[in-house]
Amino acid sequence: MANQGASWVSGAAAAAVFFTASVHASPDLSGGIWFNYQYQQNNPQHENSWGVIDSEALVLYVDGDVEDTPWTYSAEARFGPGSFTDPDNNSTGDQFGLHKAWLAYQIEDGAKITLGKSQVPFAWKTANFWPGDIFLAGYGDQMDVGVKASQTLDSGLHYDAALYLADDWSTSTDTMDDNRHWGSQSTYRKVQTFVGNLSYTFSDVHTLGISAQKGGLQEMISGEGDISGDHQAAALYYVASAGPLSAKASVISTERNLPDEYADLTIENTRYAGELGYSSGNWFFYADLTYATPNTEGNNSDTIRAFAPGFSYDYGPGWFYLEYLTQDGYIDRDGQALEGNFDALYATLDFYF
């Protein structure tokens, strides 16, 4: 059942944004549609039907600024199975939700302060969340709820400092694109997370950075909501872009002490990620490769690998994607790196208006 209080608050917040926009400035209103074809190898249903077309969604965007003020805002709402949300663990209890919704204030010659659900400043994201962040799982396309300060200095130094009260609205454990990696509403959720990110760009080509986050895990079993677990992660990363070529690399160390009410277990693993990209006109070719080495006591899995090559084509009102995913493992809700085979072909079409 959906949390009615959370729904009322979300509705009131959305109404406030629209009302403010109508009084002070006309916001940029836009929308989009996407859907996806997938063919999973070793899936008898897909073999018999030649695959399936699914993950359809309607996406609405609101972006704007309050004229002659330092205020800006942005929101994205998704509706449908392709919202990449988990109805069993989100705030709506259905296949829709707010992927992001934030209000920001730009301090003159200073930091930009962002309040709401926004991108967690932690290393980098993959080229496309479809077929997914693979083994960046839980640390890729993170959208959490809290406050963030960001600034890029003339020297090329950039910093972010943030405090996120939780990883989604209300008591949800669902962050949409990067979901099913932070417990559940019946086990635990991520809360009170401090995040720091520092990067330096030189020669207008290379960026070196370091990110860290540390927070609590709130148990959802006893009804008391004790913060009886904790999590921490650190990433060292590199991003480069020269002409049509781009490259990304990162090493991420993670640790999660699960709440006592759920399990007496400390989960640790080290993840390695890399991406290569090449642009040519309206075409972008890329390949994402990730590894995860389990360091958890009792986890006898070998290092797991996931590889996702693909390309996108900008045809005007949207993009066409073709991607292949092959992996010999996965990351579960507790952040555990486990073995398991999966191979699939994806073709995605979207358009915007």
Distance in angstroms (rounded) separating the CA atoms of residues 146 and 166 = 7
pLDDT band at 11, cuts 50/70/90? very low
pLDDT tens by residue, 208-266: 999 999 999 999 999 999 999 999 999 999 999 999 999 999 999 999 999 999 999 99
Any idea what DSSP says for residue 225? -
Residue % of the chain over a pLDDT of 90: 85
Q: Are 262 and 235 in contact (CB under 8 A)?
A: no
Lowest mean per-residue pLDDT among 16-30, 50-64, 334-348: 16-30
Fold of 4-352: Porin (2.40.160)
Domain ranges for the chain, please list them.
Answer: 4-352
pLDDT tens by residue, 70-104: 999 999 999 999 999 999 999 999 999 999 999 99
pLDDT tens by residue, 154-196: 999 999 999 999 999 999 998 788 778 999 999 999 999 999 9
Distance in angstroms (rounded) separating the CA atoms of residues 133 and 271 = 12
Consecutive H or E run containing 12: helix 4-24
Measured from the Cβ of residue 237, the count of other Cβ atoms closer than 10 Å reads 20
1 CB burial (10 A radius; 0-12, 13-18, 19+): exposed
What is the SS3 assignment for 296?
coil
Distance in angstroms (rounded) separating the CA atoms of residues 45 and 189 = 34
Q: Are 40 and 46 in contact (CB under 8 A)?
A: yes
